[in-house]
């Protein structure tokens, strides 16, 4: 595997003393070039923290994260981030939102008008790819949630990032739109050879998209287990109905529940219901 991102003994703590939270402890992972890795795990197991550290939005307490062998020292256009909430500028049109970061840079001396022209051509191509050409002059509040998220993805892809970091990007979308977005992002990752690190709560989504599913565990946040996905590279929605898919989904869900120490005490619930009925 040609390693793109190397995470080595990564630790991250927040606060100190009794209030100290170990968000990440001893995380080791190599992510390959053009690999699509998905992260799942119980709430608070450090998924977003790890993603933010790769994005350079947080710094590790100890350990290191390198990209192509160089330690990261902050955010970079090579590592674009997409979050659950679209964070588009409501006063800018779709096209202006996509080109916003480029427009901000026009005063930089190392950016030529030719660069801006290339970016404009790429913005047109991305609009087309995302099926947004017909709404290029619309404002965000005139778009559906799925369309807004497509604008946010096009904006992230404009500088041709080598790495795309996605934190529950489709969490707020309905099931049908989410399926469309899955096939779209798989298509983009192949076309652009982007390395994608994707955090989700949806195990089905994690298996469908990922070449590997990393299960994290909480308190302290750490990698619990890694599941290679054996599905054919060219995904098809019907694969979700296959026995292999179902079995892997079941195994991962089971593992997440175990790591979270979650247990539904049905007996207690039944006793409480009976007591309440007797008191009526
Ligand atoms: N800025 C911060 N200050 C203090 N604690 C933080 C901060 N960011 C995260 N944490 C804590 O670190 C732990 C890991 O949080 P993180 O958001 O990374 O988990 P997560 O797996 O993404 O959770 P979820 O699935 O609920 O989004 C949590 O206990 C959280 O409360």
Question: Which domains, ranges and CATH numbers included, belong to the chain?
Answer: 3-78+161-278 (3.40.50.300), 89-158 (no CATH)
Pick the closest to residue 115 from 126, 127, 99 (CA basis).
Answer: 99
Q: How does strand 21-32 pair with strand 163-167? A: unpaired
Q: How many CB atoms lie within 10 A of CB 100?
A: 15
What number does the ligand 1 atom closest to the CA of 46 have?
A: 18
pLDDT for residue 39: 98
- Take atom 31 of ligand 1 and give the residue whose Cα is closest: 44
Contact 156, 69 (CB under 8 A): no
Looking at residue 200, the DSSP 8-state letter turns out to be -
To the nearest whole number, what is the mean pLDDT of the chain? Answer: 89
With a 6 A CB cut-off, is 27 part of the ligand 1 pocket? no
Give ipTM to 2 decimals. 0.97
pTM of the model: 0.88
- Take atom 16 of ligand 1 and give the residue whose Cα is closest: 46
Contact 127, 150 (CB under 8 A): no
What pLDDT, in 10s, does the model give residues 64-105? Answer: 999 999 999 899 988 999 988 868 999 999 999 998 766 555
pLDDT for residue 257: 92
């Amino acid at each position: 595997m040609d390693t793109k991102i190397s995470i080595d003994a990564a630790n991250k703590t927040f606060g100190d003393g009794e209030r100290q939270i170990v968000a990440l402890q001893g995380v080791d992972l190599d992510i390959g070039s053009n690999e699509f890795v998905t992260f799942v795990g119980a709430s608070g197991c450090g998924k977003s923290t790890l993603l933010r550290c790769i994005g350079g939005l947080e710094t590790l307490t100890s350990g290191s994260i390198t990209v192509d062998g160089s330690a990261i020292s902050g955010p970079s256009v090579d590592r674009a981030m997409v979050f659950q909430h679209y964070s588009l500028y409501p006063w800018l049109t779709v096209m202006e939102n996509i080109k916003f970061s480029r427009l901000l840079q026009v005063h930089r001396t190392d950016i030529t008008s030719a660069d801006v022209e290339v970016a404009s051509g790429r913005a047109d191509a991305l609009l087309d790819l995302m099926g947004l050409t017909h709404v290029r002059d619309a404002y965000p509040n005139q778009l559906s949630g799925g369309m807004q998220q497509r604008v946010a993805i096009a904006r992230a892809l404009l500088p041709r990032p080598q790495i795309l970091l996605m934190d529950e990007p489709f969490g707020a979308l309905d099931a049908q739109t989410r399926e469309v977005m899955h096939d779209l992002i798989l298509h983009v990752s192949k076309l652009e050879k982007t390395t994608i690190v994707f955090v989700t709560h949806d195990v089905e989504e994690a298996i469908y998209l990922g070449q590997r599913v990393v299960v994290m565990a909480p308190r302290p946040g750490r990698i619990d287990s890694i599941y290679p996905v054996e599905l054919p590279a060219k995904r098809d929605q019907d694969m979700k109905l296959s026995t292999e898919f179902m079995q892997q989904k079941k195994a991962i869900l089971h593992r997440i529940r175990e790591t979270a120490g979650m247990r539904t005490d049905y007996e207690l619930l039944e006793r409480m219901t009976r007591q309440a009925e007797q008191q009526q």
